[in-house]
Amino acid sequence: MFRTALLACALALPAAALAPAPLHAQTASETTEGTLSLSARGEARLAPDMATVTSGVVTRGDTAADALRANAQAMSGVFRELESAGIARRDIQTAQLSINPVYAPVNRDQPSEQRITGYEARNTVSAIVRDLDDLGATIDALVEAGANQLDGVNFAHSDPREARDEARRNAIAELNRLRDLYGEAAGVEVGPLKSLSEQNVQQPQPMGYARMEAMAADASTEVAPGELVIAVTVTGSWALPR
């Protein structure tokens, strides 16, 4: 009889009274912690100590074989000149090799008809010049050896790690400056750092175009290396008071 009374009493309790208590109950006064997230960019500059010259030969012939044969003869002189300039074979790489038909001008009366008048062969190589004092003379030697195409000069540095780390330090310094500025402007005390990430590291970029000028018939081409810029972007998050 006693057990029956207890069971009847339990069944009479409201369902809410039997439900388990929530594991993460919050009072009405509790709020979510705020976050301040900022990004900053840091830069560092350094002088290049090497350059990549991209040049080659463009030839034409009545047939594809004629165009390629003439191109191969001219390119042999280019490769010999690069080796004579002290460029190691490991620093010479073929960048482009192609043969394409050359078409006659389009006839207005028959615009859909294309006539092949010959073929064009193009062979381009990239060579790393590790002594910038020889860069201008190397360019002149390539042209004299038969290169009739120069696609440009790309400056670089063999070991940019120190400059990259300087860019990182500059980015962190700017990030901390922005943190203090935002905290002061908002009238809040910024809390401890919650996260820090490096989002973007740019490879060394030239501060403009390489300047190449032929000064005189008996002087080598003048080249201005300028400076390289390394940029790093970092993002940080800080806790804000509740």
pLDDT band (50, 70, 90) for residue 238: very high
**Distance (Å, rounded) from C-alpha 79 to C-alpha 60?**
20
Q: What is the CATH number of domain 34-47+160-240?
A: 3.30.110.170
Q: Give the residue among 33, 44, 56 at the shortest CA–CA distance from 173.
A: 44
Residue linked to tokens 């290396």: 225
| Domain residue spans of the chain | 34-47+160-240, 50-156
pLDDT band (50, 70, 90) for residue 174: very high
At 122, which amino acid appears? Answer: R
pLDDT at 215: 37
pLDDT band (50, 70, 90) for residue 219: low
- Answer whether residue 22 shows pLDDT above 60: no
pLDDT at 128: 96
- Answer whether residue 90 shows pLDDT above 80: yes
pLDDT band (50, 70, 90) for residue 94: very high
**Distance (Å, rounded) from C-alpha 103 to C-alpha 69?**
20
Q: 237 and 178 in contact (C-beta within 8 Å)?
A: no
Q: Taking all residues of the chain, what is their mean pLDDT, rounded to a whole number? A: 82
| Mean pLDDT computed over 74-89 | 92
| Mean pLDDT computed over 19-34 | 44
CATH superfamily of 50-156: Protein of unknown function (DUF541), domain 2 (3.30.70.2970)
Q: How many residues in total does the chain contain? A: 242
**Distance (Å, rounded) from C-alpha 210 to C-alpha 64?**
35
**pLDDT tens by residue, 187-209:** 999 999 999 999 877 666 654 44
pLDDT at 217: 45
pLDDT at 203: 65
At 205, which amino acid appears? Answer: Q
Neighbour tally for 156: CB within 10 Å: 16
- Answer whether residue 131 shows pLDDT above 50: yes
